Amino acid sequence: MYNLLNAEFTPVEHVLIVVGIMLVVALVFGFLIMVVSKKFAVEVDEREETVLGCLAGANCGGCGKAGCAALARSLVEGKGNIDDCPVTDKENKMKIAEVLGVEYSGGGEFIYVVCCGGGANAKDRNDYIGEAGCIRQSMVGSGRKLCSTACLGEGSCVAVCDNGAIEVSEGVAYINKDKCIKCGKCAKTCPKLIISKIPASAVVYVKCSTKCRGKEVMDACTKGCIGCGICAKNCEQKAITIVDNLPVIDYDKCVGCGYCVEKCPRKVIHFVNEDRDDAVLD
Amino acid sequence: MLKMIPAIIMTAMLSQNFILVQFLGICPFLGVSKNIKNAFGMGLAVTVVMFIATLITYPLYTYLLKPLGFDYMEIIVFIFVIASLVQVIEIILKKTSKPLYEAMGIYLPLITTNCAVLGVTELVLTSELVTGLFDACCYGLFGGLGFTLAIVLMSGMREKLDTTRVPRPLEGFPITMLLACFMAMAFSMF
């Protein structure tokens, strides 16, 4: 050992020693990991590995779980929903469904709705004189409305829709469900991000997007949600929770009774079906 | 040896705080600080890995690499050691404590590439305060606790920020960066 410490290494010896050190470290830790993984092996459902292999592996947390492995586990346990993952493509989702032995239709049916009923009911903070279009207008102090999530009604979504499914009436965009092909362009275009995706089976939706507190909403808009929670209290299915001063409807629980529509003091919750909507609200 | 411990604690935790003074490990500091619970889990995971990593790399360097004159290999060897350690800890945790494993989730593997861990193993080699293995481990442990302190403070403030009205152009990430900046300024006063 003593000789080794004081020795002058030739280049070849030097390289060999470097390689040697790395090799020894690699072997030691490789062996350690092997032993530990044998000793602490946890029995894993084989399907879990397969499912994990099919998932996108982005570990983005978009599903609400702590990474792809967690989603794979909950899928195998039958708790999760394949559609929770926004990244994995349809083909792989089909494969997962096959592994799990469940039906998968290739994505749930859904529709787009505009979550704002403001228009003329939402007060203007100032005038806007300039180039038309919501996107342009929202660049200047986030638009002319007092409410930061109000539909500006300037029709940027109308312009982007290839099917003429959107029109602006009374200052609020409206999506015609029969013409809409669910491309989602409008939802991506809207600078206020108030066009949202809800299941096609949904009966009611919240026609407001404000997360402000009650008093601020009162000042800004007569059709704004004040987060009072009356809908949540009256929902017999406990399908409504108030998150950030706004009701969130759990469509798996909602049975479409429409109590929330009737009870809402601000008439913020609407039926998706307009005929039913008109009958109750007018 | 023991006399130096208070100095090491002060240095590692506060005056040379890994995140706010040395700017190491910024990625989890900004990425995992959205709520206190996750931030705390991440902080503890980093602390454990820092401690064990120092425990192994310090002797490895002092008794193997340095005497042989191969001290320039420290980084590559240390990375190796840290990555393997994280792997081992993950396997052990998975078996022994499922709830903790699930709570840490993705953060544990992420520590592999956390530069604060590599930072502490490098720093104890050059720090004047560290004279032996015990000191080094203390530095690792309290460096990790300092990391936890910073990330928990940050997450607490970010939770408050979520319910505050922030000027529109600063919403989201910009205000977080400003916040981090002010915290760093406060810590640099030590």
pLDDT on residue A139: 85
Tell which residue, B109, B111, B104, has the closest CA to residue B51: B111
pLDDT tens column, A229-266: 899 999 988 899 998 889 999 888 888 888 889 889 98
Distance from the Cα of A67 to chain B's closest Cα (Å) equals 6
CATH number for the domain whose boundaries are A49-100: 1.10.15.40
pLDDT on residue A108: 62
DSSP string, A171-204: TEEEE-TTT-----HHHHH-TT--EEEEETT--E
The answer to whether A42 contacts B88, with C-beta atoms less than 8 Å apart, is no
pLDDT on residue B142: 94
pLDDT tens column, A87-145: 777 778 888 888 887 777 655 677 889 999 888 888 888 888 888 888 888 888 888 88
pLDDT tens column, A149-191: 999 988 899 988 888 889 998 889 999 888 888 788 888 889 9
pLDDT on residue A1: 44
Residues of A with Cβ-Cβ distance to B63 under 8 angstroms: none
pLDDT on residue A282: 57
Confidence of residue A2 (pLDDT cuts 50, 70, 90): very low
Best to test chain A binding among B75, B79, B95, B164 (most A CBs inside 10 Å): B95
The answer to whether B67 contacts A21, with C-beta atoms less than 8 Å apart, is no
Average of per-residue pLDDT across B139-156: 94
Identify the residue whose tokens are 């109308």: A158
CATH number of A112-200, picked from 3.30.70.20, 3.30.950.10, 3.60.70.12, 3.90.1150.10: 3.30.70.20
pLDDT tens column, B58-84: 998 998 888 888 888 888 899 988 999
Fold classification of A202-282 is: Alpha-Beta Plaits (3.30.70)
Tokens of B26: 């910024």
The answer to whether B105 contacts A37, with C-beta atoms less than 8 Å apart, is no
Query: Between the CA atoms of A35, A40, A45 and A46, what dihedral angle is there, to the nearest 10 degrees?
Result: 0
**Among candidates B67, B73, B87 on the partner chain, residue whose Cβ is nearest the Cβ of A21:** B73
Using a CB–CB cutoff of 8 Å, tell me whether B31 touches chain A: no
- For residue A83, the 8-state DSSP code is G
**Among candidates A36, A59, A66 on the partner chain, residue whose Cβ is nearest the Cβ of B92:** A36
Average of per-residue pLDDT across B95-107: 74
Confidence of residue A6 (pLDDT cuts 50, 70, 90): low
The answer to whether A21 contacts B94, with C-beta atoms less than 8 Å apart, is no
Residues of A with Cβ-Cβ distance to B67 under 8 angstroms: 5
Confidence of residue A194 (pLDDT cuts 50, 70, 90): very high
Residues 6+ apart with CB under 8 A from B61: B71, B74, B77, B125
Best to test chain B binding among A2, A25, A35 (most B CBs inside 10 Å): A25
Asked, colleague to colleague, whether A49-100 and A202-282 share their fold, the answer is: no
Domain range annotation of chain B: 18-187
Cα B173 from chain centroid? 22
pTM over 0.80: no
Using a CB–CB cutoff of 8 Å, tell me whether A50 touches chain B: no
Long-range contacts of A131-140 (CB under 8 A, 24+ apart): A133/A159, A134/A190, A134/A191, A134/A192, A135/A189, A135/A191, A138/A191, A138/A192
pLDDT on residue A214: 87
Distance from the Cα of A40 to chain B's closest Cα (Å) equals 6
Using a CB–CB cutoff of 8 Å, tell me whether B35 touches chain A: no
For chains A and B, CB pairs below 8 A equal 57
pLDDT on residue B103: 67
Decide if pLDDT at A45 tops 80.
no
Identify the residue whose tokens are 């293995």: B133
Q: What is the CA radius of gyration of chain A?
A: 28
Share of chain B above pLDDT 70, in %: 97
The answer to whether A41 contacts B95, with C-beta atoms less than 8 Å apart, is yes
Domain range annotation of chain A: 2-39, 49-100, 112-200, 202-282
Residues of A with Cβ-Cβ distance to B80 under 8 angstroms: 22, 25-26, 29
Residues of A with Cβ-Cβ distance to B84 under 8 angstroms: 29-30, 32-33
